Amino acid sequence: MFISEEVEKLSQDYLENPFGKKKDKRIEGWLEIIKALPQPDNIQVELLSEVSVNFHCNDSRGLEEKLLLLLPWRKGPFKVNEIFIDSEWDSGKKWERFLKLNLDLKGKSILDVGSGNGYYAFRSIGLGAEQILCLEPNLMHVSQFAAINHFVDSKMIRMIPERLENSSLENSDFDLIFSMGLLYHQRNPKQHLYDLRNLLSKKGRVILETIVSPKEYGVALEPKEAKYASMPNVHYLHTDFGCKLLFKELGLRVIAESAPELTSEEEQRKTIWMPFKSFESALNQDNKSLTIEGYPAPARKFYVLEDSGI
């Protein structure tokens, strides 16, 4: 059984076809690309220090062209033989900050909400996590997960292409729940945290990573027209005080937290695998401590939370 009877049932539909019954005109093309990927023999997989696979391949150029068709690759990087999928985000940098929290992933069941293409799920397996359910509504990420997992072939990761609130998850308990880079995209951040808390096992932990705004903003910065650092759908950027107020209202206790860290142009940038606008066009070029909308530049912070039982 995968995590729980409920997760087993909900994730079954996506084992054969990663998109299930989703309707999107891009799906057919993605499925063709995934089907045309080579079937590797004697593959070597590394998930602890990076996400890489190595196998004998006669047509490296053709493989690279297929993987490029799945762009934009926002999360990564991934290595497929000598092909370096240099994604927009160097997600390894967030993972290094995550590692400093010293969490034990061995044997744990994990829910990664807003998992992107599964980069952190692969790295979690590298650290000995037992089973990981990823929720990701953006089908472009789902196509990339299917392509990478075609090679890694992990049976310990499953992805459901749904938002948490539409996932029908109710009766499952996870040891760890990741919500990284999501809180500010939620119209109702309190409901988001409430939903996470409800899916925690008794001694479970929520690993929340979010952008925190400076304390002058009181509880939260509310960007005009929900645009911040060129990103759409940014509704609330809580201050540290605002985050802690939310946690308290929901009976979540902070058991560890990191110092805020400014996003850098090394961590997020345009590459050939994500050739569109990136972080360089998100900041005011004359004053990089401000976004192009005139708000403080993004600084991100981790919180480790547990249910206080209240």
* Shortest Å, Cβ 140 to ligand SAM: 9
126/96 Cα distance (integer angstroms): 14
186/114 Cα distance (integer angstroms): 11
Beta carbon nearer to ligand SAM, 63 or 164: 164
* Shortest Å, Cβ 214 to ligand SAM: 20
* Shortest Å, Cβ 61 to ligand SAM: 29
Beta carbon nearer to ligand SAM, 57 or 98: 98
Beta carbon nearer to ligand SAM, 60 or 191: 191
Six token digits for residue 310: 């209240």
Beta carbon nearer to ligand SAM, 18 or 40: 18
Question: Would you call 237 exposed, middle or buried from its count of C-beta atoms within 10 A (0-12, 13-18, 19+)?
Answer: buried
The sign of the CA dihedral 231, 234, 236, 241 is negative
* Shortest Å, Cβ 11 to ligand SAM: 15
Beta carbon nearer to ligand SAM, 94 or 205: 94
* Shortest Å, Cβ 165 to ligand SAM: 6
66/61 Cα distance (integer angstroms): 9
Beta carbon nearer to ligand SAM, 34 or 234: 234
CA dihedral 63, 69, 75, 79 (to 10 degrees): 10
Residue 50 CB: number of other CB atoms within 10 A?
15
Question: Would you call 61 exposed, middle or buried from its count of C-beta atoms within 10 A (0-12, 13-18, 19+)?
Answer: exposed
Instruction: Give residues in contact with ligand SAM (CB under 6 A).
Output: 75, 91, 94, 113-116, 135-138, 141, 163-165, 180-182, 185
Chain position carrying tokens 């990284």:
180
Contact predicate 57/79, CB 8 Å = no
The closest of 19, 7, 18, 292 to 149, measured between CA atoms, is 18
Six token digits for residue 184: 């500010």
Residue sitting closest to ligand SAM (CB): 114
* Shortest Å, Cβ 59 to ligand SAM: 31
